[in-house]
Amino acid sequence: MKLLHIFTILGCLVGLVGCQNIIDKQVEWETIEPETYPVIRSIGYAPIEAQQGTDRSTKVLMAVKASKLDAYRELTEQVYGQKIDGEQSLANLVLTDTQLLASVQGVIRGARVVKSYPVGNDSYATELELDFGLVHDLYLSTAKPKKVKKVRYY
């Protein structure tokens, strides 16, 4: 008899737990907005005479492009960081070779060229800025980050 009561109670508990998934709920979401948006800046440099080209104007144009890419690289370093790989070799407990490799990888959207100008006669510089307010707006246009605002159970 006692065993029958235990099985009855266990059966009721299993039935109640099983019905828990039947209850419907409605979840309301709201987007998350940060309090402040930083603006970061970078400067990229490129030598003019080292560029490939037949005349000076072609080399200047190539230096403008190279300095812009260098500025983007610096922005990417600030946003994502830099990966550093190091290697050293020993022979007879004497250091024979040391290598240090740095790389950066990421996607920068919304950067703006602030200024592009020659530095003396032999280099070109480009200044970029990245407003994270604009980055946030661009992000919201593609992916809607959300948090739970309210849950209603029926």
pLDDT tens, position by position, 5-53: 666 776 666 665 555 556 677 777 776 777 899 999 999 999 999 999 8
Among 27-31, 123-127, 132-136, where is mean pLDDT lowest?
A: 27-31
More confident residue, 33 or 131: 131
The whole-angstrom separation of Cα 125 and Cα 127 is 7
Q: What is the pLDDT of residue 151?
A: 78
The reply to whether the predicted model has a pTM over 0.75 is no
Longest Cα–Cα distance in the chain: 103
Q: What is the pLDDT of residue 19?
A: 52
Residue 138 near residue 131 (C-beta atoms within 8 A): no
Domain encompassing residue 47 = 2-153
Q: What is the pLDDT of residue 68?
A: 97
Cα distances from 14 to residues 5, 11, 37, 94, in angstroms, run: 14, 5, 51, 71
**Residue labelled with tokens 């739970």:** 148
| Tally of domains within the chain | 1
Q: Identify the three-state secondary structure at position 151.
A: strand
96-108: per-residue pLDDT in tens?
Answer: 889 999 999 999 9
Backbone angles phi, psi at 45, to 5 degrees: -125, 150
